[in-house]
């Protein structure tokens, strides 16, 4: 149990940040895809900027994980088709229901229980991908 | 306290998200929320029928704990750390949504037109949520990641596949908002 507590705390922090930044809001996603506000671009931009900096600094200073291993980011396989097609399908859904996988769970906590329908549908979508995986171009 | 109760500006929120990513890497894991959907399918027994779900899901329990935390964090933020919601959306957005027939814009995190139960149980309402959720779940696994895995972690580590995926996210999002929404609403 003890080894899980740190993940629970990181999760709490993540949930608070996404609610307080309004990134879980359908309205903010709509606004982003309409290019009508800098808000979401500012969030993603500073997240990536800070992320790049943190990863560069940890590499330079040879930071180890708590397990003592080298801190590294899992590498995505090379490719194009799966990323562009899968990404586009994801984007269509993201803009339609205004929630990506993190916010889906977080919204549950804010009492927006109808989001459970989106979560169940997302599970179904994931299952369908698993079913069709070998037939799809990657 | 007033600073916490107000919505947080982007230049505070963005770096906080990067810290979440970094902490998970520091713990020897990674930041990827959509992987939990696959894990939940595996727990539900999908591995018996489909090889994609035949993996040691117990090794992914830590990520489900992150999800539990995130739900709890959402609860805390919404009920204890927020003033009544009055989102500072751009005027253009409010105008566009009004034209599409939306009311009470930005008075709650989610539009009642889509997420209130009586909207959910109309044919159009339920189809929007089901199709939207399905496309997110299918697309994220096809692309091998979502906003956290590709847009935050992948771009922070300068990976080309993630850039391609994020471009895809935007192609899809722009098609939906600019071409499909005007038909839907």
- Say how far apart CA A135 and CA A84 lie, in whole Å: 17
Q: Do B172 and A90 touch (CB under 8 A)?
A: yes
Confidence grade of residue B115 (pLDDT, cut at 50, 70, 90): very high
Cβ A103 vs Cβ A23: under 8 Å: yes
Interface test with B, best of A32, A59, A126 (most B CBs within 10 A): A126
Task: Indicate the domain borders of chain B.
Answer: 1-82, 116-185
What is the complex's ipTM, to 2 decimals?
0.96
Residues of A in contact with B141 (CB under 8 A): 86, 125-126, 129-130
State both tokens at B20: 């979440």
The shortest C-alpha distance from B56 to chain A (Å) reads: 16
Inter-chain CB proximity B168 and A88 less than 8 Å: yes
At A90-107, the pLDDT tens digits run: 999 999 999 999 999 999
Quick one: average pLDDT of B136-141? 98
Q: Is A110 on the interface with B (CB under 8 A)?
A: yes
Residue A2 has pLDDT above 80, yes or no: no
Q: Cβ–Cβ of A47/B152 closer than 8 Å?
A: yes
Residue B163, pLDDT above cutoff 90: yes
pLDDT in tens, B68-104: 999 999 999 999 999 988 999 999 999 999 999 999 9
Cβ–Cβ gap B14/A24 under 8 Å:
no
In chain B, the percentage of residues whose pLDDT exceeds 90 is 96
């Amino acid at each position: 149990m003890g080894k899980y507590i740190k993940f629970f705390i990181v999760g709490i922090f993540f949930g608070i940040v996404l609610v307080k930044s309004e990134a879980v809001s359908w309205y903010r996603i709509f606004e982003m895809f309409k290019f009508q506000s800098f808000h979401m671009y500012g969030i993603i931009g500073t997240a990536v900027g800070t992320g790049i900096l943190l990863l560069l600094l940890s590499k330079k200073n040879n930071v180890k994980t708590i397990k003592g291993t080298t801190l590294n980011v899992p590498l995505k396989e090379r490719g194009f088709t799966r990323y562009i097609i899968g990404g586009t399908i994801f984007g269509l859904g993201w803009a339609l229901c205004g929630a990506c996988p993190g916010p889906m769970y977080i919204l549950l906590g804010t009492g927006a229980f109808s989001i459970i329908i989106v979560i169940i549908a997302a599970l179904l979508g994931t299952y369908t991908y698993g079913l069709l995986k070998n037939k799809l171009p990657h | 306290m007033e600073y916490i109760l107000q919505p947080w500006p982007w230049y505070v929120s963005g770096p906080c998200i990067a810290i979440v990513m970094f902490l998970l890497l520091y713990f020897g894991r990674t930041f990827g929320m959509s992987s939990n959907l696959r894990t939940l399918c595996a727990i539900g027994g999908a591995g018996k029928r489909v090889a994609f779900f035949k993996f040691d899901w117990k090794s992914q329990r830590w990520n489900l704990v992150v999800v539990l935390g995130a739900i709890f964090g959402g609860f805390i933020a919404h009920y204890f750390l927020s003033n009544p919601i009055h989102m500072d959306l751009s005027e253009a957005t409010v105008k566009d949504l009004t034209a599409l027939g939306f009311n009470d814009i930005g008075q709650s995190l989610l539009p009642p037109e889509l997420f209130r139960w009586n909207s959910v149980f109309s044919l159009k309402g339920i189809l929007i949520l089901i199709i939207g959720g399905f496309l997110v779940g299918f697309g994220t696994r096809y692309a091998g990641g979502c906003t956290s895995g590709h847009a935050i972690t992948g771009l922070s580590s300068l990976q080309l596949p993630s850039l391609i995926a994020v471009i895809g996210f935007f192609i899809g999002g722009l098609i939906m908002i600019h071409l499909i929404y005007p038909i839907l609403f």
